[in-house]
């Protein structure tokens, strides 16, 4: 091995050196781990992974109730579900704790006369309490901890990855539910990671409690709960919603 470095040809030398180093450290198979074998998940183009719970596939809102129960007031057309302003939000029939969530949203093109928090406002409430803000933040200023990609009034997004109104946008979310002791004390706060249009905007952000419009957030014990989508009097649309339970 030691006489190999004669020609100066790196292509020949590097594998020889790597092999010599590996041999000097023993058997490489000793650090191979073969079990468990990860389950296979099919990932078709433009469709949910095979192990996902599909919450909205563009056809109907059968997986959803109105925010206060009963049928959702939202319209479904052209593969999208759209807020009916004043018709209240919607929430999933099922409850969730830790999840991976994929959701696509679009703010309305009608922007004249709508500024700041009044422009394309909606929101995704994890466990029905913690709001990931949905807002038209494309060249539309508002307070930073209330813009698109923020954890409302708690965490400013790392960047503004917003697309123009009328253009579909994506959120990919990793949500870790808060943990409470049997006595109701907080054992671990909620954490969230968010990609907005594929760009990291929340990086394992720790939440201080449930979303509050006024005042400081705090925790109260609760279990798994529905995902809710907000009616904030703006015709925001959603499509292609699925979760994977973690
Ligand atoms: Mg909102």
27-84 tens-digit pLDDT: 999 999 999 999 999 999 989 999 999 999 999 999 999 999 999 999 999 999 999 9
92 near 227, Cβ under 8 Å?
yes
Distance between Cα 166 and ligand 1 center (Å): 17
SS3 24: helix
Distance between Cα 78 and ligand 1 center (Å): 24
Residue 106: the pLDDT is: 98
Per-residue b or e along 30-39, where b marks 16 or more CB atoms closer than 10 Å to that residue's CB: eeeeeeeeee
Distance between Cα 188 and ligand 1 center (Å): 25
State how beta strands 228-229 and 90-92 pair: antiparallel
Residue 25: the pLDDT is: 78
Residue 18: the pLDDT is: 62
Cβ-Cβ contacts under 8 Å for 36 (sequence gap 6 or more): none
pLDDT classification of 23: cutoffs 50, 70, 90: low
Distance between Cα 236 and ligand 1 center (Å): 11
- Chain-wide mean pLDDT for the chain? 93
Q: Over the stretch 219-242, which tens digit does the pLDDT of each residue have?
A: 999 999 999 999 999 999 999 999
pLDDT classification of 8: cutoffs 50, 70, 90: very low
Percentage of the chain lying above the pLDDT 70 cut? 90
**Residue list, CB under 5 A from ion ligand 1:** 121, 123, 230, 232
**CA torsion sign, 104 to 141 to 146 to 228?**
negative
- The pTM of this model reads 0.89
Choose the most confident range, by mean pLDDT, from 4-8, 24-28, 37-41: 37-41
Q: Over the stretch 108-159, which tens digit does the pLDDT of each residue have?
A: 999 999 999 999 999 999 999 999 999 999 999 999 999 999 999 999 999 9
Q: Would the pLDDT of 22 be above 60?
A: no
Distance between Cα 127 and ligand 1 center (Å): 15
Distance between Cα 21 and ligand 1 center (Å): 57
Residue 104: the pLDDT is: 98
Distance between Cα 213 and ligand 1 center (Å): 10
Q: Would the pLDDT of 11 be above 70?
A: no
């Amino acid at each position: 091995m030691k006489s190999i470095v004669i020609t100066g040809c790196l292509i020949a030398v590097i594998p020889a050196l790597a092999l010599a180093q590996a041999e000097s450290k023993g058997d490489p198979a000793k650090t191979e781990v073969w079990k468990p074998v990860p389950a296979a998940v099919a990932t078709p183009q433009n469709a949910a992974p095979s192990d996902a719970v599909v919450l909205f596939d563009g056809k109907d809102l059968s997986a959803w109730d109105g925010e206060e129960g009963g049928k959702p007031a939202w319209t479904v057309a052209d593969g999208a579900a759209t807020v009916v302003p004043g018709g209240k939000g919607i929430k999933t029939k099922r409850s969730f704790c830790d999840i991976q969530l994929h959701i696509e949203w679009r703010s309305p093109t009608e922007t004249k006369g709508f500024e700041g928090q009044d422009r394309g406002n909606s929101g995704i409430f994890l466990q029905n309490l913690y709001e990931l803000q949905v807002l038209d933040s494309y060249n539309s200023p508002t307070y930073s901890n209330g813009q698109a990609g923020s954890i409302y009034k708690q965490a400013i997004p790392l960047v503004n990855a917003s697309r123009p109104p009328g253009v579909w946008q994506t959120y990919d979310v990793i949500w870790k539910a808060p943990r409470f002791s049997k006595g109701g004390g907080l054992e671990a706060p909620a954490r969230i990671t968010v990609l907005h249009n594929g760009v990291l905007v929340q990086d394992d952000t720790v939440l201080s409690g449930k979303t509050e419009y006024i005042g400081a957030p705090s925790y109260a014990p609760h279990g798994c709960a529905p995902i809710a989508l907000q009616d904030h009097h703006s015709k925001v649309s959603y499509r292609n919603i699925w979760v994977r339970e973690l």
